[in-house]
Amino acid sequence: MYHPCMRMKTFRLPDSGPFVGAAYVVFWLLLWPTVQPYWMLPYGLRFGALLLAPVRYWGWLLGGELLATAVISLAQGVPAGWADFLINELPEPLVMAAGLWLLRRFNLHPSLSSPQEVTRLLLSVLLIVAATTGADAALLAWIQSPDSQDLMLRVLGEDLLSHYLAILLAVPLMIMLLRAPFDRGSLTSLAMDGLLVMLPSMVILVLLSERAAPQPQFARVLSLAPVLFFAFRHGWRGASLAMMISSLGMTLVDQHLGHAPSGAAAYLFLAVAGTGALMLGSATDALRRSSARVAEQNVYLGSVNRRLDQLAQQLRGAARGNLQADENQRRHLAAELHDELGQNITAIQTHVKLAQSRLHQAGLEDISTSINTILAHMRRALHRLLDDLRPAVLDEFGLLRALDEGPIRDLLNAAGVAYHTELRGDPRLLDDDTRTAIYRLAQESATNAVKHAQASEFRVRLRIGERQGASLAILDLRDDGVGLPGRLPRGGRGLQGMRDRVTSLGGQFRLRPDHVGVHLRILLRSNNIGNDPGRST
């Protein structure tokens, strides 16, 4: 939630037991005048100090507390011997220290950064408060007479509430100061909200508290509004600060105006409200941290996606370059075969024709016939090879006529397969690679339908159009054959070669299984609008 560079430095206790003990005594003496029947802030100070301080300091802390309590007892003139003093004051700190030592062994951490940690800490607080109250009950039962059970129950009730409320008010502030301080930006925002929200709330509290009942009770309820605001705005830190200021404000106002001390119901309400505000603040902090992590992950994923897009574009560019190089090589090889082999076949036919009369005179006319037959077969094979290398019909007739009237129809008609075409759009919107790819895909699919599918019908449907500055071509190829086998034969490159060709052009290749036979749906994009207006369609 907070950037490490913006966080204020965490305050660390000096590595000195006497210094820690002396500071503890000072804070204990400063908090002692605030003690009331339902208000025992020194108890919260003790819990927080034992929770946060290393165990090696505990002796100094407990010794400092006994010293501070002795000074207070002497100042108040309470006559008691040292034995009675130790019996009254020592059991409660020892019980708390033992309980916290056990809880710390079970991984109790001074943290309020999540609702789970707040719940764990509050449950530990309840256990410690119950244990110390039980120790006080045993001590009272030993000291008091049996007739004072009502008094003992009332005192124990006060202890339970005051101890829990003291921890609720003091410990979050100590954790905030020593372990989780505000960063500078949040501290500035907190100060501004204190001036704009908390200060007016305290003024309203004073004004309402000066009135007769039930306004004072209403003022206490109203004072929780800024606590909830700070919990939402500043998390558990803001909630703990606002709770402490509101509680102290109500107490000081009651003392200043001479109102009767608030009863157990008011402090119980304060304890419940403080617990809820602390849980709400920690949940707010956890939600903000989660949102920050999600935002960071989104930024990271965005950068990764951009990098993947770049890599995909590079791969498509490389594949397209390989495809162009392959087509250029095919075109060059076709030209060489046409010029060299085709001319040689023509020359041989010419020589055989010139020598035909002499072969006839020599009674070898059957040889000339055989040679002409072989040459015709070679010419047909050469034409098929040239068409495979570079479809001349595509250059001569254009894409639409090549699909509708070219060698694909001849191949299918020769195999007894009905051929249907539905061709719409202007092929001049497409670049040469895309036009060649469309023809190659239709040619390969028709060849598969003849050789493997045992189809009786083959359909080609082509749509060419424009959308958002780019040309689109949707090619639909289907036959009514036996379909694909459950397991494609090893070494088969037909469908995979078609898929690779489409992928290299940045298109989409989809084999639809919801159709009898084989149904291919292909989407190709081209950015060649208007670049080749003179090419034949």
The tokens of 40 are what?
A: 């025992």
**Closest of 139, 67, 59, 126 to residue 97, by C-alpha:** 59
Instruction: Quote the CA–CA distance of 27 and 68 in Å, as a whole number.
Output: 10
Model pLDDT, residue 253:
66
Residue 144 lies in a domain: yes
Among candidate residues 156, 180, 204, the one where a domain is terminated: 180
Residue 444 lies in a domain: yes
Q: Which residues contact 257 (CB under 8 A, 6 or more apart)?
A: 209, 210
Cβ-defined contacts of 193-198 (< 8 Å, 24+): 193/229, 193/230, 193/233, 193/234, 193/238, 197/226, 197/229, 197/230, 198/226, 198/230, 198/242, 198/245
**Closest of 472, 522, 526, 517 to residue 501, by C-alpha:** 522
As for how many domains the chain has, the answer is: 2
Q: How many other β-carbons are positioned within 10 Å of the β-carbon of residue 516?
A: 12
Model pLDDT, residue 460:
94
Q: Which residues contact 28 (CB under 8 A, 6 or more apart)?
A: 42, 45, 64, 65, 68, 69
Model pLDDT, residue 389:
65
Model pLDDT, residue 369:
75
Residue 348 lies in a domain: no
Among candidate residues 180, 195, 217, the one where a domain is terminated: 180
Q: What is the pLDDT of residues 381-412, one digit of tens each?
A: 777 776 666 677 777 888 898 888 888 888 88
Dihedral sign (CA 262, 268, 272, 278) = positive
Among candidate residues 157, 180, 203, the one where a domain is terminated: 180
Instruction: Quote the CA–CA distance of 27 and 22 in Å, as a whole number.
Output: 9
Burial profile 378-412: b = 16 or more Cβ within 10 angstroms, e = fewer? beeebeeebbebbbbbbeebbbbbbbbebbbbebb
- Identify the domain containing residue 144 by its residue range: 1-180
Give yes or no for a contact between 157 and 130, defined as CB atoms under 8 angstroms apart. Answer: no
Residue 337 lies in a domain: no
Give yes or no for a contact between 227 and 277, defined as CB atoms under 8 angstroms apart. Answer: yes
Rg (CA), the chain: 46
The torsion angles phi and psi of 106, rounded to 5 degrees, stand at: -95, 30
**CATH classification at residue 410:** 3.30.565.10
Model pLDDT, residue 448:
86
SS3 519: strand
**CATH classification at residue 167:** 1.10.1760
Residue 319 lies in a domain: no
How many degrees, rounded to 5, is the angle at CA 143 between CA 137 and CA 148?
Answer: 75
Residue 432 lies in a domain: yes
Q: How many other β-carbons are positioned within 10 Å of the β-carbon of residue 278?
A: 25
The torsion angles phi and psi of 457, rounded to 5 degrees, stand at: -150, 140
* Single-letter amino acid, residue 423: L
Per-residue pLDDT of the chain (537 residues; tens, 9 = 90+): 444 444 445 556 566 788 888 999 999 999 888 887 777 889 999 999 999 999 999 999 999 998 888 888 887 776 556 677 777 788 889 999 999 999 988 888 888 888 899 999 999 999 999 998 888 778 777 766 555 566 667 777 788 888 999 999 999 999 998 888 878 888 888 888 888 888 887 777 777 666 544 445 566 667 778 888 888 888 898 888 888 888 777 777 666 665 555 667 777 888 888 899 999 999 999 998 899 999 999 999 999 998 888 887 777 777 777 767 776 776 667 666 666 776 777 777 777 777 777 767 776 667 777 777 887 788 777 777 766 666 777 778 888 988 888 888 888 898 899 999 999 999 888 888 888 889 889 988 888 888 887 888 999 999 998 887 788 999 999 998 887 766 555 444 578 888 888 887 888 888 876 667 888 999 988 765 444 444 444
Q: What is the DSSP string of 427-480?
A: GGGS-HHHHHHHHHHHHHHHHHIIIII--SEEEEEEEEEEETTEEEEEEEEEE-
Residue 355 lies in a domain: no
Q: What is the pLDDT of residues 100-121, one digit of tens each?
A: 999 988 888 888 888 899 999 9
Instruction: Find tokens 């006529």 and name the residue.
Output: 401
Among left, alpha and beta (phi > 0; psi -120 to 50; other), residue 363 is left
Residue 266 lies in a domain: no
